[in-house]
Structure 1
Amino acid sequence: MARFQPIYDIAELCSRKGLTQAVLCPGSRCAPLTLAFVRHPNIITRTFSDERSAGFVALGIAQQKKAPAIVICTSGSAAYNLAPAVAEAWFSETPLIIITADRPAEWIAQHDGQTIHQNEIFGKHVKKFYQLPQEYDHADSQWAVNRIVNEAINLSYQEPKGPVHINAPFREPLYPPAEEAISYSTSVRVMDEFPSDFTLTDEQKRKLINEWGIYHNVLIVAGQQEDDKDLNDALQTFFTKHAIPVVGDVITNLHSIEKLVRHADLFLGQASADIKKTLQPDLLITFGKSVISKNLKLFLRKYTPKAHWHIQPAGMVADPFQSITNVFNTTPAEFFRFLSSLPTTESFEKQKQHNFNKLWEIEERRALRTLEEFFPQEALAELELVYTILNNLPENCNLHLANSMSVRYGNFIGLRAQQRGIQVYANRGTSGIDGCTSTVVGHALSNDRPNVLITGDLAFFYDRNAFWHNYAMPNLRIVLLNNHGGVIFKMIDGPGSLPESDEYFVTRQKLTAKKLCEEFGIEHLQLDNKRKLKNLLKDFFEFDGKPKILELESDTLINKIIFDNLKEKTKKSYEL
């Protein structure tokens, strides 16, 4: 048996459990792992030199494939560079298998090169840390390696899904002799788990039956989630029967629902206290992860419901609206299908619910009408470009929204019900700008759909190593909103009025994407005149075999004025 046979068989085990995508970072200490995965016939491997970027690429792959992606790196500070992606995976509930190579334990803290304390390095941001044996010649060690990797993969799949960390110490020599062929054992043990279907219990059903008729102002609020046709269909049926408003940010992937309240962030920021009081729910039902809209959060914290039911299959419960009274450990689709099965009768209480729904519909129509009347503006600024891009997206594509103003612009504008073929992604687990581009690269490398990223300049240049690799991305399109700084610090209350704002908050920078595009072989489209927009969009959305970046350089003050004008126009709509 080869000296590293148990390590080689990790790749075979991953393959048998359906893990087919691995992101590898260069290094010597990880050589046994690298060779195991690179030479496996059923695993697609790609190499990225920047571990920080590599982690987010793997995150994007895992999101796209809906299965854990594998990340392998060498020992030392290389492992630390995976931390931002691991944290995002933890909070976004994305499964990753992180395997870090390490020195033998006796060499830790002995001034040996590329050696740090790697045990528990990711802290609470992984579901579990696993340490492999550092000797592989004993049968018990071989059994332990197989058991640990089986358990780690199974755990990453369990709800809530997330990253796991396996640390693998290796003694030198790290490379096999030239004459040694790497092969995989035919008898690799696979430990499969049968996932729960998270159905409602009899006790939960009784509670729903007994209490459902008590409330007549019911509101549903969704958080971020993957596109889920089963859930969308269940919600559409539920709404048709019960006329209960469903509020969803752009990242909820619920835009195919005809009557979805898409623009709550816009109208709740401008509506009067009297209007908001009429929108207050008696019962709030929530599901999904984070909500973008600060206005929605503030509204629900102030106008609290009498009861708040939260739906999630498993895991720690977050309470961002500070009102949860009951948690139902089931899937949202199962929950709403059951409520749809309950009988309804024409009554005064049902009419109250219909009236409550009409109030939300009125505000949604007001916001939509304001948006449609607001554009076009005389000056081309970021908000109108995002509006134009969202209204011209390919029918079936992935829309990626980087953090800070990009995702907020996207949420103010939203997607239409007719755009049901579009799936929306954003790194809202930690809401950091690091890795937004690399995540899109992971998606683009693992699917054939158009992948369109809308990003600001700080997020874009911070993550420029997303392009530092050797793989073609003909389906990648990037809209770069380059205001030469962090425009969000001019938009939010506080930093914009400070004398230190430009240097220490907005962080002025002079870069454009032109040289980067030349460096990495990307077509650069410069939007410097509004009259060019139509032709540039046609070129931008032509998929002719190469990635493209559409860059708008704009003035921060103009962006702020137009953004503020939209909010002011919304506010004035209440005076008519």
Structure 2
Amino acid sequence: MEQKFYYTNERNVQIVIALLKAHGIHRVIASPGTTNMTFVVSIENDPWFQIWSSVDERSAAYLACGMAAETGEPVVISCTGATASRNYMPGLTEAYYRKLPVLAITSTRGNHKIGHLIDQQIDRRNIPNDIAMESVTIPMVKDKEDERFCEVEANKAILALKLNGGGPAHINMYTKYSQDFSVKELPKANAIFRHTVFDDKLPEIPHDGRIVVFVGAHADFSERLTTAVDRFCATYDAVVLCDHTSGYRGKYEVHYQLVCGQKQWHSEYAHANLCIHIGEVSGNQFNVSAAHTWRVSPDGKLRDTSGNLRRVFMMPEEEFFERYAKTDGNHTELFNAMTAEVEAMKEKMPELPFSNIWMAQHMVDKLPKDCELHLGIYHSLRSWNFFKLPEGIHAKCNVGGFGIDGGVSTMMGASFAHPDKLFVGIFGDLAFFYDMNVVGNRHVGNNVRLLLINNGRGNEFRNYNHPCYFLGEEADRYIAAAGHYGNKSHRLVKDYATDLGYEYLSASNKDEFNMVVDRFLTPNLTEKPMLLEVFTETDDESDALEQILNILVDSKQKIKRAIKNTAKEILGDNGISFIKKAMKR
């Protein structure tokens, strides 16, 4: 007899089924219902799954407990909407306290229907603390972003079944009651696997393609971790991609933002097969892309920053790199090639307008030895990330919350802890004025140097590549912050700083800046803390960013740009806009 029903066309359900198979889960206890129809019908003709029926959901959950305890393997329970899932609670409570891997998949028409007097629509958004190690929602899939979200969330719940000794988990899965079961081959879904320090054997490092270590914000590396990472890179011909918050200053440090940021040219080294991801949030916009990412962190969380997470290593970073590194490695080929490319790019850099980036370019090699650099969000961090810091200098930035509100205070707090160490802070006007009260703190010492880049508006919103750039001057009304804080007054900060006991310096162009920068960066502790206020222009800041991101143009891009410019000359802006709208219809 010809099979009539295959897999549902509901992509979110397909993802959950595919991931159950990828993680080796094949036992299911299904309770009757309509809302879980797309899931149950999809699996009942798949020979991978072994299915039992239980009319009573309370009994089904306890059946799963017995089966999981007996086999030591996860068991899925599936039910419809209404109060069916409430009857799972006693059995899931038993599973929680016995650490039994029971996965409850409850089906729903969606949270948007909760609270509107719709039949069989109960609220599962908040569950008791002791019935699931992890509870996730799997919505309908409309695009690739939804698909990625469903993959990560489903993996998260499945992996929780064995995390920290194991226990139950919960997936609340949307459905639209599709009657289309014509999908004969289950589409692939990306499984994520977790490995712990207790695993005797870890997966092999793939040897086909480049390997990079990407470090987000990270505490300064210990000697042990630096040694382990360096040995790993020597073994696999890898490099360590950093920004100034990464904390790594070892042999394989590469600051690749200048190369990867290019908009009209693509480096052959800008793609890797495998990325080892450590650290936290990064302020680095311009990363090497990778086919797969392995995340290493003691927290074991699924942090899918790049959308290609495949494995999570729940262990200390030192443990990971030491277990993979070999003592006989001595590779530096990729490091040498990428470093040479960065140096070649620096040689081609044009003379930039007077701006945050220009100042970073001309200050970086003058920074006092062993000082600590603090950078404001966001333009200051990005500007300085284009240039590698001298040896011995570490940098910090509040990339955790990624807000402008506390950078100056954070630097001051660090300076209080080490009064004999020099601290240099680079902040834009919004970040400075937002946090200026700490400038008057009575504990501020003579080890503080503040560079305030005052463009009078928060230039980020007016930079050429910002989403609000198209607004032009209109952005100054309410999107940016033009006109606040003295509107580039040359007296406001000067009087404030000098009255508070600071040595005040200022500059409005390159010549004036060159006259004061050596004083600002003098390596000796001075009698007073210093504040250098530099006034820049909106167009100069945006132009500098555009120029540094377009140093090289490949031949294909030149042709495209020529065609675009010619079309614009012939048709004008209105004609180009009309064609774009017509093509979207």
TM category, shorter: 0.5 to 0.7
- TM value normalised by structure 1: 0.56
| From 488, 498, 509, the counterpart of 2:471 | 498
Alignment partner, residue 205 of structure 2: 212
Alignment partner, residue 131 of structure 2: none
- In structure 2, relative to structure 1, the CA distance for the partners of 1:502 and 1:573 (3 Å cut) is farther
CA distance in 2, matches of 1:247, 1:236: 13
**Counterpart amino acid of 1:229?**
S
CA distance in 2, matches of 1:383, 1:214: 38
Matches within 5 A, 1:161-310: 201-203=197-199, 205-208=200-203, 211-212=204-205, 214-230=207-223, 231-254=225-248, 256-264=249-257, 266-270=259-263, 272=265, 275=267, 279-296=270-287, 300=289, 304-305=291-292, 308-310=293-295
CA distance in 2, matches of 1:533, 1:467: 22
**Counterpart amino acid of 1:391?**
D
**Counterpart amino acid of 1:226?**
A
- CA contact 1:263–1:368 (8 Å) conserved in 2: no
Confirm or deny that 1:441 pairs with 2:412: yes
Q: How big is each residue's C-alpha offset from its partner over 1:395-448, in whole Å with a ceiling of 9 and x where there is no partner?
A: 111110110201110112232xxx232121100001100011111110111102
Once the 2 structures are TM-superposed, how far is the Cα of residue 541 of structure 1 from its aligned partner?
2.4
- CA contact 2:405–2:431 (8 Å) conserved in 1: yes
Matches within 5 A, 1:537-576: 537-542=517-522, 543-571=525-553
- CA contact 2:295–2:303 (8 Å) conserved in 1: no
CA distance in 2, matches of 1:372, 1:516: 41
- TM value normalised by structure 2: 0.55
Alignment partner, residue 479 of structure 1: 451
Once the 2 structures are TM-superposed, how far is the Cα of residue 266 of structure 1 from its aligned partner?
4.1
CA distance in 1, matches of 2:211, 2:238: 6
Confirm or deny that 1:393 pairs with 2:361: no
**Counterpart amino acid of 1:310?**
R
- CA contact 2:373–2:423 (8 Å) conserved in 1: yes
- CA contact 1:265–1:293 (8 Å) conserved in 2: no
CA distance in 2, matches of 1:327, 1:484: 45
- In structure 2, relative to structure 1, the CA distance for the partners of 1:430 and 1:550 (3 Å cut) is same
| From 339, 355, 362, the counterpart of 1:381 | 355
- CA contact 1:200–1:335 (8 Å) conserved in 2: no
Once the 2 structures are TM-superposed, how far is the Cα of residue 265 of structure 1 from its aligned partner?
5.6
- CA contact 2:259–2:341 (8 Å) conserved in 1: no
- CA contact 1:406–1:454 (8 Å) conserved in 2: yes
- CA contact 2:350–2:551 (8 Å) conserved in 1: no
Secondary structure of 1:557's aligned partner:
helix
CA distance in 1, matches of 2:206, 2:328: 10
- In structure 2, relative to structure 1, the CA distance for the partners of 1:574 and 1:552 (3 Å cut) is farther
Alignment partner, residue 515 of structure 1: 495
- CA contact 1:486–1:508 (8 Å) conserved in 2: yes
CA distance in 2, matches of 1:315, 1:207: 15
Secondary structure of 2:458's aligned partner:
coil
Size of the alignment, in residue pairs?
Answer: 352
- In structure 2, relative to structure 1, the CA distance for the partners of 1:526 and 1:279 (3 Å cut) is closer
Alignment partner, residue 28 of structure 1: none
Alignment partner, residue 387 of structure 2: 413
Unmatched tracts of structure 1, length 5 or more: 1-198, 346-352
**Counterpart amino acid of 1:262?**
H
Once the 2 structures are TM-superposed, how far is the Cα of residue 572 of structure 1 from its aligned partner?
5.7
Once the 2 structures are TM-superposed, how far is the Cα of residue 454 of structure 1 from its aligned partner?
0.6
Confirm or deny that 1:327 pairs with 2:312: yes
Confirm or deny that 1:454 pairs with 2:426: yes
Larger RCO (CA within 8 A; separation ≥ 6): 1
Alignment partner, residue 342 of structure 2: 367
- CA contact 1:502–1:508 (8 Å) conserved in 2: yes
- CA contact 2:258–2:342 (8 Å) conserved in 1: no
Identity %: 23
Alignment partner, residue 168 of structure 1: none
- CA contact 1:309–1:328 (8 Å) conserved in 2: yes
Once the 2 structures are TM-superposed, how far is the Cα of residue 567 of structure 1 from its aligned partner?
1.5
Secondary structure of 2:291's aligned partner:
coil
Q: How big is each residue's C-alpha offset from its partner over 1:149-180, in whole Å with a ceiling of 9 and x where there is no partner?
A: xxxxxxxxxxxxxxxxxxxxxxxxxxxxxxxx
CA distance in 2, matches of 1:570, 1:259: 25
CA distance in 1, matches of 2:554, 2:533: 33
CA distance in 1, matches of 2:263, 2:311: 31
Q: How big is each residue's C-alpha offset from its partner over 1:228-260, in whole Å with a ceiling of 9 and x where there is no partner?
A: 132223222332333112211221122x33442
- CA contact 2:294–2:309 (8 Å) conserved in 1: yes
CA distance in 2, matches of 1:215, 1:200: 25
CA distance in 2, matches of 1:400, 1:552: 17
- In structure 2, relative to structure 1, the CA distance for the partners of 1:398 and 1:269 (3 Å cut) is same
- In structure 2, relative to structure 1, the CA distance for the partners of 1:217 and 1:382 (3 Å cut) is closer
Alignment partner, residue 423 of structure 1: 394
Once the 2 structures are TM-superposed, how far is the Cα of residue 574 of structure 1 from its aligned partner?
9.8
Confirm or deny that 1:341 pairs with 2:326: yes
Alignment partner, residue 507 of structure 2: 527
Matches within 5 A, 1:13-92: none
CA distance in 2, matches of 1:426, 1:463: 14
Question: Is the radius of gyration larger for structure 1 or structure 2?
Answer: 2
Q: How big is each residue's C-alpha offset from its partner over 1:97-121, in whole Å with a ceiling of 9 and x where there is no partner?
A: xxxxxxxxxxxxxxxxxxxxxxxxx
Secondary structure of 1:406's aligned partner:
helix
- CA contact 2:506–2:513 (8 Å) conserved in 1: no
CA distance in 2, matches of 1:443, 1:572: 45
- CA contact 1:224–1:251 (8 Å) conserved in 2: yes
**Counterpart amino acid of 2:232?**
F
**Counterpart amino acid of 2:363?**
I
CA distance in 2, matches of 1:541, 1:408: 21
Once the 2 structures are TM-superposed, how far is the Cα of residue 339 of structure 1 from its aligned partner?
1.7
Unmatched tracts of structure 2, length 5 or more: 1-194, 559-585
| Deviation larger for 312-321 or 213-222 | 213-222
- CA contact 1:486–1:506 (8 Å) conserved in 2: yes
CA distance in 1, matches of 2:556, 2:216: 28
- In structure 2, relative to structure 1, the CA distance for the partners of 1:432 and 1:272 (3 Å cut) is same
Once the 2 structures are TM-superposed, how far is the Cα of residue 469 of structure 1 from its aligned partner?
2.4
CA distance in 2, matches of 1:331, 1:304: 24
Superposed CA RMSD in Å reads: 2.9
